[in-house]
Structure 1
Amino acid sequence: MTTATGWAALLLGKNGLRSLALAGGVALHAINVYLVTTILPSVVKDIGGLDYYAWNTTLFVVASIIGSVLSAKCLTGLGPKLAYAVAGVIFAIGCGICSLAPDMGVLILGRTVQGLGGGLLFALPYSMIRLVFDEGLWPRAMALISGMWGAATLIGPAVGGVFAQYDAWRAAFWVLIPVTLVFMLLATLMLPKKSTEPRAKVSVPMVQLALLTAVVLAISLGSIKPSPLFNGLGLLVGLVLLYAVYRVEGSDKHRMLPKNSLSSHGALLPIYLSMSLMVIGMTSEVFVPYFLQVLHLQTPLVAGYIAALMAAGWTLGALYSSSLARESANRATLYGPVFVVVGLALACIFVPQTTGSLLSLCGVSVGMVCVGTGIGLAWPHLLTRVLANVPDAEKDIAGASITTVQLIATAIGAALAGMIANLAGFTTPGGVEGASSAAAWLFGLYALLSALLFITVRQVIRRDTVEGHVDRDVLLATEKPELP
């Protein structure tokens, strides 16, 4: 067994093919996220379904949560080779359904199937790293797989934009199928059939998963009609179900989060709240391509790339922030909410404009970058505090909780964004007038919601100062963010 730890050891020979297989799964999931965001305005123009615009994201993410949570059980029961193959088949079937969709209902069904397969493709590689590589290669393998999100911000909008501009959005889904089959074949050839580790019993928090799905569905159903009463009822039911999740999580032995995570006196609650508020603010990007095409008359390609500036800003902010010393890291964490709120405020000002001027487009772009940069500045240090504030026996569930919280916040944020947009006129009266009103309300309310970060982030810093120092080694190990 080789003990080499350099990039060459990871990227050449059999390890190179294994790396390609694992990174390819995450890349497929990530590229699909930005591809669909870019082509969705063209899809709605062709088959209708504007009322259900946000559902393409909400149900996709809910299914991704389920796939991600089930990945450990799938890996244990099927082994690496078969588990990866099953994930690929599910994802490819979802792509096929989307490509043939005659209406929005079928498309959403396909997106849900895609999300289940994508969640597995997203989570399995992280679990497989320790099974297929020597321990010395683990940090670089993690960095390689995480880096696929950065690549996706370049590839996804480009692929989606080209197909959308030629009115061939269905082909965008078809293209993903053979690429998925190639990675499946590579995984079948290069990954082990069975795990060499002893099988551990894997529990699945089914009650929490069911309740969280019901939360997102309640908010999404409430957004169908532009009626304040109907919307309010959906939101109320969603909040009641979210409280039920809180009660079950606090008492159930099959937990999604570390013990006492939701205690008002613990260190983890403000961290999770800060993470959630940041991710919810970012979900507004779902509507950005549509707003830019309708209000600013931009092409799908340009609109897709401007929307992706949030993710690009996140990556750049995290790369800068992750190597900061303790005091500087605390300052970066405190400055993060300022960037997020300012970015959303800029979007509230410039996105609703219909002048199509270069100034308004620059204002939108700066706003997108600010939101992402603010998240990136704080994100690495929030993640390290999650891991630093749990005992060693809970490190695994704490690590998994980072992705879980991020995905849950994404689903709830997208559902809430759909509710706000529809209530503000996105579908009625629709068109330029409706899109302008929806953009103003969506970014304005999300800027106000994100202002709560000034409270939660200060609580994070205060409790960390009181309870001790963050482990510097953990900080370096988690410098790369996971993008939604």
Structure 2
Amino acid sequence: MSDSTSGSWAEIFTPRYATVTLILCLGVALFAFNAFLASVALPTAVQQLGGIALISWALTLYLVFAIMGGAGAALLKQRLGSRTALLVSSAVFLVGTLIAANASTMTEVLIGRSFQGLGEGVVAAICFALIPELFPSRLVPKVFGMQAVIWAVAAFGGPVGAGLLTELVSWRAAFLINVPLVLIFATMVMFKVPGRDNVPGLNPGFPGVRLLTIGAGIMLVALAGISTPLVATGLLAVAAILLVGAVALDARSRVRLMPDGAFRPNSTVGSGLWVVLLMPIAGATSAVYLVLLVQQLWGYGPTLAGAVGAVMAVAWSLSAITVANVRQRETRKVLIRTGPALIAIGMAGVLIGLLAGQIVIVLVAQLAIGAGFGISNGYLNLTLMEASSDNDRDRTSALLPTTQSAGNAIGAALAGVAANTAGYASAVTTDAIHLAIIPVFVLGAAVAGLAFVAALRTTSFMTTGATASSFAAE
């Protein structure tokens, strides 16, 4: 489709698109809210149920199963059709929510969180896959802009809402709030999402080996984040072997989970997926440690420290909205390249601000990091969707949120290894903390630099001709 015209923001809320816009935003909202729920509600749950040693696994298992679900989402969509796949995955998420909310032990909570992750991983991935199917390409950046807003609201409202429900009602209510949301989502899907769209006669089977390999790799990454530096290094090495092996195995499979040439730097899609992976790896550095650091170094309370951390989410949303009307191809290329560069600059700025004791520098750097994600994320996703063949577009679209989640997990683990190796856990003086965090933020800036190189390569392919395919007709 041509991008010669640019739709207004109001168009995604017209009768033609309003319902599907709401469906996609609600699907993302379920994922975003639950990403913040565990850290707020589960400490109270642990006090009632015991099993404090298992609390970190509530997030770990949710993430691992979400990535596994996302990896298989395109195949599930092809096999069952969009509507059935979303309804089934919503049911899985609902079952997990009910198990966790009614748990009598932490083990049951973990089982529920695993089901939640599996269901929501599929929901989020299929919602991404539906974007090029249900919207013309000129509206896609606005849809991603709305999703950025959802994440910003979740970053603020998720912890606050879960905290209020936990304090005023119970931690179980923080889980049960998902029930009406997922029922509304499922009802809307039933009436508005296209039905069966699979290839007749196709029986792809179950890609169990590939999904288990991906799950095992992400599990090892998560374990690395809570291990000693030496053990963590070994776990990350094995995880890298497993994940690379999963990509290689998928490339040789008759029915693939990933698009053709995934992560091979010789195409727009291949190199672009590296940008999608590397940017959240870089961003995780600030996301994991900044809130804690401003409390340790400057004595900020939890609320004020959380506000400093949330500046990035606000900048992400505002910048995504600001650039959503860009139509020129050359400008989009500039935005894709500039995003990782801003993240690298922002990481360096956060470090400088922390070392100098200047909150203004930290806030400006946080704005740069958020803007880096906001100005580039939507157009990077759009570029990968447009560059994919008709047969591969579902796989590419569904792989985007999965790759971002994997990047967040890998980034958190790498940041933990860097911090622990530098002695952050035992640092008690300001000088010792300063020395320990230098490699953490240097790592984040370096990874963002690699993302910039991958972005240069991705946009270089955009100059060679038109996209491989077009989106839905207007």
TM (normalized to structure 1)? 0.75
User: By how many angstroms is 1:252 displaced?
Assistant: 1.7
Aligned: 1:175 with 2:173: yes
CA distance in 2 between partners of 1:174 and 1:280 (Å): 32
User: By how many angstroms is 1:106 displaced?
Assistant: 7.9
AA aligned to 1:76 is: L
CA distance in 1 between partners of 2:116 and 2:150 (Å): 20
CA distance in 2 between partners of 1:288 and 1:394 (Å): 38
Given that 1:275 and 1:406 are in contact with CA atoms closer than 8 Å, whether structure 2 keeps it comes out as: yes
List per-residue Cα deviations over 1:12-32 (Å, max 9, x = no partner). xxx86x876664343122123
Match of 1:269 in 2: 270
Match of 2:243 in 1: 242
CA distance in 2 between partners of 1:162 and 1:300 (Å): 16
Match of 2:97 among 74, 87, 92: 92
CA distance in 2 between partners of 1:340 and 1:100 (Å): 43
Q: 1:404 to 1:86 in 2, by over 3 A?
A: same
Given that 1:87 and 1:121 are in contact with CA atoms closer than 8 Å, whether structure 2 keeps it comes out as: no
User: By how many angstroms is 1:365 displaced?
Assistant: 2.2
Match of 2:333 in 1: 330
Aligned: 1:301 with 2:303: yes
Given that 1:218 and 1:234 are in contact with CA atoms closer than 8 Å, whether structure 2 keeps it comes out as: yes
CA distance in 2 between partners of 1:317 and 1:173 (Å): 35
CA distance in 1 between partners of 2:168 and 2:420 (Å): 26
Given that 1:67 and 1:119 are in contact with CA atoms closer than 8 Å, whether structure 2 keeps it comes out as: yes
List per-residue Cα deviations over 1:255-282 (Å, max 9, x = no partner). 2322123444333332111221112112
Aligned: 1:9 with 2:15: yes
Tell me whether 36-45 or 443-452 shows the greater mean CA deviation.
36-45
Match of 2:149 in 1: 150
CA distance in 1 between partners of 2:226 and 2:321 (Å): 40
User: By how many angstroms is 1:236 displaced?
Assistant: 1.9
Q: 1:112 to 1:82 in 2, by over 3 A?
A: closer
User: By how many angstroms is 1:429 displaced?
Assistant: 5.2
AA aligned to 1:403 is: P
Q: 1:317 to 1:50 in 2, by over 3 A?
A: farther
Q: Report the 3-state secondary structure (helix = DSSP H, G, I; strand = E; otherwise coil) of the residue aligned with 1:279.
A: helix
Match of 1:404 in 2: 402
Match of 2:369 in 1: 371
User: By how many angstroms is 1:334 displaced?
Assistant: 2.7
Match of 1:444 among 436, 442, 445: 442
Tell me whether 278-287 or 420-429 shows the greater mean CA deviation.
420-429
User: By how many angstroms is 1:244 displaced?
Assistant: 1.4
Tell me whether 330-339 or 367-376 shows the greater mean CA deviation.
330-339
AA aligned to 2:347 is: L
Q: 1:45 to 1:457 in 2, by over 3 A?
A: farther
Given that 1:38 and 1:160 are in contact with CA atoms closer than 8 Å, whether structure 2 keeps it comes out as: yes
Match of 2:4 in 1: none
CA distance in 1 between partners of 2:452 and 2:187 (Å): 50
Match of 1:468 in 2: 465
Given that 2:225 and 2:412 are in contact with CA atoms closer than 8 Å, whether structure 1 keeps it comes out as: no
Match of 1:342 in 2: 345
User: By how many angstroms is 1:199 displaced?
Assistant: 5.2
CA distance in 1 between partners of 2:43 and 2:297 (Å): 12
TM alignment of 1:20-419, pairs within 5 A: 23-36=25-38, 58-71=60-73, 73=76, 76=80, 79=84, 82-83=87-88, 85-93=90-98, 95-96=100-101, 111-123=113-125, 125=127, 147-161=146-160, 173-187=171-185, 191-192=189-190, 196-197=195-196, 200=199, 201=202, 203=204, 205-226=207-228, 228-284=229-285, 285-322=287-324, 323-351=326-354, 359-360=358-359, 362-419=360-417
Matched residue count: 454
Q: 1:407 to 1:208 in 2, by over 3 A?
A: farther
CA distance in 2 between partners of 1:24 and 1:288 (Å): 29
User: By how many angstroms is 1:40 displaced?
Assistant: 8.5
CA distance in 1 between partners of 2:466 and 2:189 (Å): 40
AA aligned to 2:238 is: V
Given that 1:223 and 1:418 are in contact with CA atoms closer than 8 Å, whether structure 2 keeps it comes out as: yes
Given that 2:132 and 2:385 are in contact with CA atoms closer than 8 Å, whether structure 1 keeps it comes out as: no
Match of 1:482 in 2: none
CA distance in 1 between partners of 2:132 and 2:278 (Å): 32
Q: Report the 3-state secondary structure (helix = DSSP H, G, I; strand = E; otherwise coil) of the residue aligned with 1:308.
A: helix
User: By how many angstroms is 1:471 displaced?
Assistant: 7.9
Q: 1:222 to 1:7 in 2, by over 3 A?
A: closer
User: By how many angstroms is 1:110 displaced?
Assistant: 5.6
CA distance in 2 between partners of 1:379 and 1:294 (Å): 32
Q: 1:443 to 1:100 in 2, by over 3 A?
A: farther
CA distance in 1 between partners of 2:21 and 2:126 (Å): 13
**Percent identical residues:** 22
CA distance in 1 between partners of 2:310 and 2:73 (Å): 28
Given that 1:279 and 1:410 are in contact with CA atoms closer than 8 Å, whether structure 2 keeps it comes out as: yes
User: By how many angstroms is 1:91 displaced?
Assistant: 4.4
CA distance in 1 between partners of 2:275 and 2:97 (Å): 35
- Please, which runs of 5 or more residues in structure 2 have no aligned partner? 1-10
CA distance in 1 between partners of 2:137 and 2:442 (Å): 42
CA distance in 2 between partners of 1:156 and 1:446 (Å): 21
User: By how many angstroms is 1:344 displaced?
Assistant: 0.6
User: By how many angstroms is 1:84 displaced?
Assistant: 5.6
Q: Report the 3-state secondary structure (helix = DSSP H, G, I; strand = E; otherwise coil) of the residue aligned with 2:346.
A: helix
AA aligned to 2:237 is: L
User: By how many angstroms is 1:126 displaced?
Assistant: 5.5
